[in-house]
Amino acid sequence: MSADADRIARAALLLLESHDVEGLLDTLPAPKVSELGGAGRAGVERTWTLASPLRVSLVPEGLSQKFAKLFKREIQTGDEDFDARVYIATDTPELAAAWLEIASLRSAILSLIASGGRVEVTGEAVTLAAWSDGDPKKVLDDRTAATILAHVEAVARPPEA
């Protein structure tokens, strides 16, 4: 693991250990929540205001993303399953690569992607979305959200002295 990834992982772990899941989410402004639906599936999208130098969009890898790869280089994590299922678009590639080195983070992201959802970090906000044939809030639960948000917040923390 790179030094940046190790710093991010340690800072996220401290955030998660210093609060319970709900406590961490309570430290952030309440998210904007949108209920989505269509084709017999239900979806939920939650957007938190959270500043970060990281800018990355993670979506399920489909035909249009495979076509885009012909013209634009995509970062790879080295996790074959994650790389095959997730398309990564970013204009902060070094930071995104370090962020995605963290296995527990990739696992949380993959649960949303597997549902057809997405993760988007714009620098000012974080949007998490999930879809389900049943209750999408079971896919985008507070633990998944807290794991991803703690790792986004950890990127913005300065290195420990």
| Residue 11 forms part of a structural domain | yes
> Residue 69 has what pLDDT?
54
Q: Taking a C-beta distance cutoff of 8 angstroms, is the pair 112, 139 a contact?
A: yes
Q: Taking a C-beta distance cutoff of 8 angstroms, is the pair 115, 124 a contact?
A: no
Q: What is the mean pLDDT of residues 140-160?
A: 86
| Residue 12 forms part of a structural domain | yes
| Residue 161 forms part of a structural domain | no
Q: What is the value of pTM for the model shown? A: 0.86
Neighbour tally for 80: CB within 10 Å: 9
What angle separates helix 3-18 from helix 142-156, to the nearest 10 degrees? Answer: 130
Q: How many CA atoms within 13 Å lie on the side-chain side of 43? A: 19
| Residue 53 forms part of a structural domain | yes
| Residue 130 forms part of a structural domain | yes
At 153, which amino acid appears? Answer: E
| Residue 149 forms part of a structural domain | yes
Q: What is the mean pLDDT of residues 42-67?
A: 84
Higher pLDDT, 136 or 127: 127
Separation of alpha carbons 69 and 88, rounded Å: 10
Nearest Cα to 145, choosing from 114, 105, 116, 115? 105
> Residue 16 has what pLDDT?
83
Separation of alpha carbons 17 and 12, rounded Å: 9
Domain count for the chain = 1
> Residue 91 has what pLDDT?
92
DSSP state of 136: G
Q: Taking a C-beta distance cutoff of 8 angstroms, is the pair 56, 91 a contact?
A: no
Separation of alpha carbons 136 and 121, rounded Å: 20
Domain around 97? 3-156
